[in-house]
C-alpha cells in the first residue's frame, strides 16, 4: 500500500488520449541497454543485470499464486484504509474543528464517513474502492452537499458551477481524478466558515488553471516522462549488477496522470515495482535509489511515490490490480512487451454501482462509524486519565 499518498482509486473508462501516450512507450529501445560495442565484448557472457528476463507461463500453479497474491495485498490494503489511514485523515479533520470557529458542516463524523465512500462501486481492490461512472460520483457529491452543508445563500450555486467545470476540466484525466476533485473540495469546505464555502468552490478549476494545465501537457509532460523513463531504466540496471537472475527488479509500473497524458505541474510519479519473483525483497532499495536519482538528476517538482509491495511478471494479475491506463518502464524489452496493455484493452470494466455494491457501501460505512466511535472513546478516555 502506498505510504505517502491516498490509495489510488481504480476503475472507469480510459480516455482516447491515453492511447497516444501508451503507443509511444510500447517498447523500450534495446539500444539504451548499453550493449557491448566490440566483437570481443559481445562474445562474453551477458552480465546478470542485462541478462534477458524469462516471462513465466500462465500455468495453473501461476494462476493460483496470482490469486493468493491478489487476496493478500487486497486484505492488507483494506485494513490500512479502514484503520490507520482512516484515523490519520480523521485527525486532520479534527484539527480544523479545534479552531473553534463556525463551520459549514455540523455533523462532521457523518459527513466524513459519507465522503470516504463517495462515488465507489462497492467493489474493493488493492488500490482502494473502484470508482463508479461520473454520473454516480456527481449524485453522491450532491447528496452529501444537500445533507450536510449549511444552506448559505450562493454556496449551492457555487458548488453547481464547480461540478460543471469538473466535467470539462483536464479532458485527458482518469475517472478517478474527477472524483478526487470533488472529494477534496468537499472535505476542505466542510470545516470552513459557511460564508467562505461559495468563494472557495469558485476558486477551484478556473480557466487560468485549465490554461496552465494545457500548456504543461503540451510543452513539458512528455519531456518529464522521457526523463523519468530513462532514470528508471538506469537505476534498475545499476541495481541488478551482480545480482542473480530470478532475484531482480525488472520494471516499474507507472500509474496516475502521467500514464494517460493528464499530468500537471507538481503531479506525482506513482510507481509499482515489478520483480522476477513477485517478492518485495528489493522494493525499498529500488524506491530509495530511484527517489535519490530523480532528486539529483530529474525534476523534483514531481515527487516519486511507491508501494510497499511488488508485483510478479503476470499480466493478468497486473490488469486485475490496475483497471486504468498504466505504463511499463523497464530496460528489458521483453518485460515491456509482455506486461504492457493498450488502454482500449482496459475498457469494459463495470463502473455501475449494483445493489450488491450499495449493500457493501452501507455495511462498510457502518464499520467506519464503529472504528471512529471507538477511536474517539479511546481518545477521550486517554485525555481523562491525563495520558
Tens place of pLDDT per residue across the chain (387 aa): 444 434 433 333 333 333 443 444 433 333 333 333 333 333 343 456 778 899 999 999 999 999 999 999 999 999 999 999 999 999 998 887 766 678 999 999 999 999 999 999 999 999 889 999 899 999 999 999 999 998 888 999 999 999 999 999 988 787 788 999 999 999 999 999 999 999 999 999 999 999 999 999 999 999 999 999 999 999 999 999 988 899 899 999 999 999 989 999 999 999 999 999 999 999 999 999 999 999 999 999 999 999 989 999 999 999 999 988 899 999 999 999 999 988 777 765 667 888 999 999 999 999 999 999 999 999 999 888 876
pTM of the model: 0.81
Assess contact for 131 and 179: CB atoms under 8 A.
yes
Whole-number Å distance between alpha carbons of 362 and 106: 21
Q: Which of 201, 133, 210, 220 is nearest to 162 (CA)?
A: 201
Per-residue confidence (pLDDT) for residue 349, from 0 to 100: 63
Per-residue confidence (pLDDT) for residue 109, from 0 to 100: 96
Q: Which of 155, 151, 210, 160 is nearest to 182 (CA)?
A: 160
Per-residue confidence (pLDDT) for residue 343, from 0 to 100: 73
Neighbours of 234 (CB within 10 A): 17
Whole-number Å distance between alpha carbons of 236 and 181: 34
Task: Please enumerate in sequence order all residues whose Cβ is within 8 A of that of 366, keeping only pairs 6 or more positions apart, or say none.
Answer: none
Task: Please enumerate in sequence order all residues whose Cβ is within 8 A of that of 114, keeping only pairs 6 or more positions apart, or say none.
Answer: 140, 143, 144, 147, 148, 365
* Residue 222, helix vs strand vs coil: helix
Q: Which of 131, 143, 148 is nearest to 189 (CA)?
A: 148
Grid cell in block for residue 100: 473553534
φ and ψ at residue 200, rounded to 5 degrees: -65, -45
Per-residue confidence (pLDDT) for residue 42, from 0 to 100: 36
3-state secondary structure 307-331: ECCCECCCHHHHHHHCCCCCEEECC
Q: Which of 176, 194, 165 is nearest to 125 (CA)?
A: 176
Amino acid at each position: 500500500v502506498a505510504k505517502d499518498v491516498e490509495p489510488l482509486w481504480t476503475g472507469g473508462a480510459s480516455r482516447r488520449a491515453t492511447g497516444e501516450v501508451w503507443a509511444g512507450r510500447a517498447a523500450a529501445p534495446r539500444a539504451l541497454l548499453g550493449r557491448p560495442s566490440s566483437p570481443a565484448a559481445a562474445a562474453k557472457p551477458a552480465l546478470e543485470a542485462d541478462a534477458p528476463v524469462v516471462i513465466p507461463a500462465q500455468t495453473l500453479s501461476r494462476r493460483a499464486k496470482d490469486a493468493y497474491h491478489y487476496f493478500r495485498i487486497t486484505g492488507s490494503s483494506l485494513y490500512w484504509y479502514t484503520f490507520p489511514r482512516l484515523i490519520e485523515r480523521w485527525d486532520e479533520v479534527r484539527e480544523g474543528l479545534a479552531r473553534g470557529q463556525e463551520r459549514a458542516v455540523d455533523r462532521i463524523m457523518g459527513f466524513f464517513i459519507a465522503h470516504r465512500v463517495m462515488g465507489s462501486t462497492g467493489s474493493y481492490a488493492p488500490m482502494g474502492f473502484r470508482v463508479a461512472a461520473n454520473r454516480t460520483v456527481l449524485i453522491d457529491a450532491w447528496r452529501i452537499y444537500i445533507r450536510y452543508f449549511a444552506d448559505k445563500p450562493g454556496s449551492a450555486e457555487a458548488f453547481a458551477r464547480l461540478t460543471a467545470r469538473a466535467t470539462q476540466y483536464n479532458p485527458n484525466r482518469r475517472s478517478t481524478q474527477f472524483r478526487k476533485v470533488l472529494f477534496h473540495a468537499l472535505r476542505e469546505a466542510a470545516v470552513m466558515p459557511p460564508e467562505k464555502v461559495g468563494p472557495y468552490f469558485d476558486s477551484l478549476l478556473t480557466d487560468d488553471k485549465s490554461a496552465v494545465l494545457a500548456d504543461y501537457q503540451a510543452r513539458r509532460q512528455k519531456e518529464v516522462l522521457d526523463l523519468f523513463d530513462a532514470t528508471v531504466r538506469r537505476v534498475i540496471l545499476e541495481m541488478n549488477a551482480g545480482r542473480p537472475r530470478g532475484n531482480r527488479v525488472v520494471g516499474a509500473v507507472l500509474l496516475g496522470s502521467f500514464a494517460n497524458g493528464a499530468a500537471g505541474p507538481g503531479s506525482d510519479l506513482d510507481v509499482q515495482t515489478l520483480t522476477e519473483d513477485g517478492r518485495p525483497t528489493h522494493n525499498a532499495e529500488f524506491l530509495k535509489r530511484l527517489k535519490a536519482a530523480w532528486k539529483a538528476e530529474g525534476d523534483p517538482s514531481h515527487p516519486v511515490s511507491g508501494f510497499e509491495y511488488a508485483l510478479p511478471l503476470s499480466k493478468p494479475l497486473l490488469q486485475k490490480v490496475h483497471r486504468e491506463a498504466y505504463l511499463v518502464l523497464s530496460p528489458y524489452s521483453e518485460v515491456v512487451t509482455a506486461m504492457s496493455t493498450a488502454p482500449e484493452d482496459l475498457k469494459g470494466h463495470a463502473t455501475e454501482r449494483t445493489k450488491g455494491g450499495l449493500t457493501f457501501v452501507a455495511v462498510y460505512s457502518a464499520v467506519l462509524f464503529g472504528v471512529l466511535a471507538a477511536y474517539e472513546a479511546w481518545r477521550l478516555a486517554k485525555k481523562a486519565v491525563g495520558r
